Structure 1
Amino acid sequence: MKWNVPNILTALRLLAAPGVAVMFLYFHRPWADWFALLLFISAAATDWFDGYLARAWKQTTKLGAMLDPIADKAMVVIALMVIVGYSSMSPWLVLPATVILFREVFVSGLREFLGDTAGTLKVTQLAKWKTTAQMIAIAVLFAQGVFEHYFGAMTHGAVMLGHAGLWLLWIAAALTLLTGYDYFRKSIPYLKE
């Protein structure tokens, strides 16, 4: 196992994922919202930095290649679980969250099943945009929680943030479906055994 700066950043992002949920266990709102938002944004930023540094410093490793998608999925899944759990369970939130969670589990299962042939499911540029859209949508939804506690749930700003977060989440869900379909399509020749 080779530990370098990019791998350490990825490992820290992986550890930060459950930290988002822990904020709501140990802090009252709005502090939990603030801490979760700051932790999520900080961890999401490392997603770009660890990949950039690994390529720039020629420090790409198998460990990093394995941990990076796990850290991304853990961040998204745990954050969505917290957001849905603290929401009004609106179908406008639950449906795109369900699509995202299903796709993440489905593609992980495909990769596990394909094993050595999983190279056929390399991360595409669209999948990178999907992850970016997910991270932005989740950050906006956490920010809505912060805004609601300071200015009230029905203020214009809180309502606008909520609508923006939902629209972004639906866009992320659409990109998630597209990339899930693309990975499934690429795996079909290996599933015909």
Structure 2
Amino acid sequence: MNSTLVRAIAFTSLIGATSLAAHAAELPIASEALESHITTEVTKIDLPNRQVTVKGPHDKDVTFQLTEQAKALPNLKVGDQVDIKVTRAIAYVLNTNVGGAPKASEESGTIRATAANPNPGGEAFRQVKVTSQIKKIDLNTHEVTLLPPEGKLQVVKVENPELQARMKNLKVDQTVEAIFTEVLSVETSRPAQ
């Protein structure tokens, strides 16, 4: 499992979530992605308790509690290298139709090590979509009042001049979706002996 696959999953999630080609009624407003990467080493394994300890920042050990889903844990050895990548992305989409309702949904999944790669590792993704309804548009102050699923109105100040110019096209009761996507990739390898 490599970073290309991680980026592909994140990109596919964003494209699928923003429905760029599928729905002309949805317009992407903005998006951004951030990737974090750390390579560390296994220093201790407590197999009965399903705990793995790795070198953390400043050589301070960090212990992780693993679930039963970590099927290849018995294959892990002290000294194995652990490569951890986290990709976080957010996309904002405006629904040009009027009448959507505030809502939230979450989707997640995992991909585990394969028979061709017996080293412990895998990938997990989580995507949360929050739909807020536009309740008020103030072109003078460049503010949009949104009603999120929690029900408490939120005022958002539009700072970007390009987006401010497009505010005149907004309508009350349109919806704005914020799609958060996280992809975690863990890959292990054994140093050559």
TM-score range, shorter chain: under 0.3
Q: Which has the higher helix share?
A: 1
Q: TM-score, normalised by structure 1?
A: 0.22
Q: TM-score, normalised by structure 2?
A: 0.22
Max radius of gyration: which structure?
2
